[in-house]
Amino acid sequence: MSGLSLGEIQARLKDYILAAGDDPAPLLPLLAGGHGLSGERRLGIYHNAYRARLAEALEAVYERTWAYLGDQEFHALTAGYIEASPSSVANLRDYGDSFPAYVAGQQPDDPEAGELAAMDWALHIAFDAPDAPSLAPAALGELGEDDWAVAGFALQPGLSLATFAWNVAEIWHAIDQGGVPPPAARLAEPTGHVFWRREQRSHFRSLSPAEYRMLASLGQGAGFAACCERLGAEFPDLAEQAGPWLFGWVSDGMLSAIVRPASGQP
């Protein structure tokens, strides 16, 4: 092994750190003096520190999920997830995007746990999203009739939509206020939610099916008038609601710009 290149040595060290319970013996001849620590001890420090940092990242993002599940169950899930999903990102803030799906797969009898984790992640993404200007209400007044026929709207970076079948919003609010969460209960019908950042805070609220579809269509690049026309047959009251929704989205800071189709840019 002494003839290995630096890159090969680094690759073997990485493989050891990522592997659960790997034998350190093949790496020991590569280690220099340890200032009193054995080779096994020094390798163990790296092996455990990697997992500790990832666990801390998950704890910071999924704080409400942690509170809901409790220490033992949550730490068992994070330990399993770390072994199943090694980090592939340079910034720890980006680690853990697939944790909600992992929780859902590991907790089939508690489906609200995966949905609660999805809420935590959506709020985290909203908070860490890049800054973008908020569309001013006055900008809507500058649109002429021809503009309204084709204009679309850019959503704020980090704004996301999710649909939940369980009362996870109620559970999240109770935990956030330091209270006892209510028992998990399936909603009468799945309910859409929007997540976004405003004034350096993450927010979320529930949406009607029609408003959810409108925001989803705008996020996919459809024009406002086209959304109204396409969804009008399915939601007869949409024509009356779309205008107030739009002004509400602007007031809440969900939109960043008007998009004109000539350039496809704000």
Q: Give the pLDDT of residue 49.
A: 72
pLDDT band at residue 59 using 50, 70 and 90 as cut-offs: very high
Domain ranges of the chain: 131-266
Dist CA 180 CA 4 (whole Å): 57
pLDDT > 70 fraction of the chain, expressed in percent and rounded: 80
Per the model's pLDDT, the better-predicted residue between 164 and 9 turns out to be 164
Tell me how far the alpha carbon of residue 142 is from its chain's centroid: 35
Q: Are 77 and 105 in contact (CB under 8 A)?
A: no
pLDDT band at residue 264 using 50, 70 and 90 as cut-offs: very low
Q: How many CB atoms lie within 10 A of CB 45?
A: 11
Q: Which of 7-16, 19-28, 84-93, 130-139 has the highest mean pLDDT?
A: 130-139
Q: How many CB atoms lie within 10 A of CB 14?
A: 13
The answer to which of 32-46, 112-126, 222-236 has the lowest mean pLDDT is 32-46
Is pLDDT at 161 greater than 80 in this prediction? yes
Neighbour-count burial for 91-117, b at 16+ CB within 10 Å, e otherwise? eeeebbeebbebbbebbeebbbbbbbb
Structure tokens at 247: 């002004």
Q: Which residues contact 205 (CB under 8 A, 6 or more apart)?
A: 193, 194
Phi, psi angles (nearest 5°) of residue 206 = -80, 160
The residue type found at 102 is: Y
Per the model's pLDDT, the better-predicted residue between 197 and 28 turns out to be 197
**pTM metric for this prediction:** 0.83
Q: Which SS3 state, helix, strand or coil, does residue 162 take?
A: strand
pLDDT band at residue 89 using 50, 70 and 90 as cut-offs: confident
The answer to whether the Cα torsion of 188, 186, 161, 108 is positive or negative is negative
Q: Which SS3 state, helix, strand or coil, does residue 161 take?
A: strand
Phi, psi angles (nearest 5°) of residue 166 = -120, 165
Q: Which residue has the tokens 């999903």?
A: 85
Q: What CATH architecture applies to the domain 131-266?
A: Alpha-Beta Complex (3.90)
pLDDT > 90 fraction of the chain, expressed in percent and rounded: 73
Structure tokens at 29: 């001849």
Q: Which residue has the tokens 């984790």?
A: 117
